[in-house]
Amino acid sequence: MPVQVNPNRMELLKLKRKQVVARRGHKLLKDKLEGLLRDFLRIVREYRELRRAVDGEISTVFAGLVLASAGMNASAFRAALAFPSCTARLEVSERHIMNVRVPVFRFSLEGSLVAYGLADTNRDLDRAMGRVREVLERMVRLAEVEKTVELVAAEIERTRRRVNALEYILIPQQEEAISGIEGKLDEMERSNTTRLMKIKEMLGA
């Protein structure tokens, strides 16, 4: 929809100033979009690597637990895992990526995951439980990176919409309005010149 303005020099000046602001805003948003895309690709790579690592470690832990349960009395196995003597803590803070607030998770375990005696358990259970702490830490990091990917992707989409609105709607509308006013002013100037020439001819006759 074209911009409706009065064809005068004051409006032309206002429109040209607005277009300077719009072009500057477009450049800043485009630079921001490029920066976001670079960060996004880096974060996605980290997410994929973490996802592969976590999936592999979880599979290893479960395989170890299955192996341990096969070599133990069922009630002893359940009892060994029932009451871990540790406390999990998760602290949440924020950091900024190109003005996007993303979470930072700090995970810690106080105490020991192993709360069973050695008499009724086996080495497979010890090995599996030894891996759990590392898996939990990686899972928390994975959750942090996954949320970061989600937030940065949403900001990329918002920024892209704003860039496109400026590039394909607002700036072209302004250019069309400026061109229209300049055309009308040129036409008015030609009419005035023609009228003055006619008056001059009439006065000289």
Per-residue model confidence as pLDDT tens digits over 126-152: 888 888 888 999 999 999 999 999 999
User: CA 133: distance to chain centroid?
Assistant: 30
> How does pLDDT run across 15-51, given as a tens digit for each residue?
999 999 999 999 999 999 999 999 999 999 999 999 9
Least confident of 51-55, 170-174, 201-205: 201-205
SS3 state at 84: coil
How much of the chain exceeds pLDDT 90, in percent? 56
Q: Would residue 107 be called left, alpha or beta, if left means φ above 0 and alpha means ψ between -120 and 50 degrees?
A: beta
Average pLDDT over residues 155-172: 96
- Higher per-residue pLDDT: 32 or 186: 32
CA dihedral of 67, 71, 74, 77, whole degrees rounded to 10: -70
pTM exceeds 0.85 for this model: no
Give φ, ψ of 128 to 5 degrees: -65, -45
Q: Residue 91 pLDDT more than 70?
A: yes
Tokens representing 152 are: 């940065």
With CA atoms as reference, report the closest residue to 185 among 16, 2, 1: 16
With CA atoms as reference, report the closest residue to 8 among 170, 177, 191: 177
Give φ, ψ of 113 to 5 degrees: -70, -25
Average pLDDT over residues 117-121: 66
Domains defined along the chain, listed by start: 9-195 (1.10.287.3240)
The alpha carbon dihedral of 173, 174, 178, 179 has a sign of: negative
Place of tokens 């979009």: 33
- Higher per-residue pLDDT: 116 or 112: 112
**What's the chain's Rg over C-alpha atoms?**
34
Question: CB of 142 within 8 A of CB of 103?
Answer: no
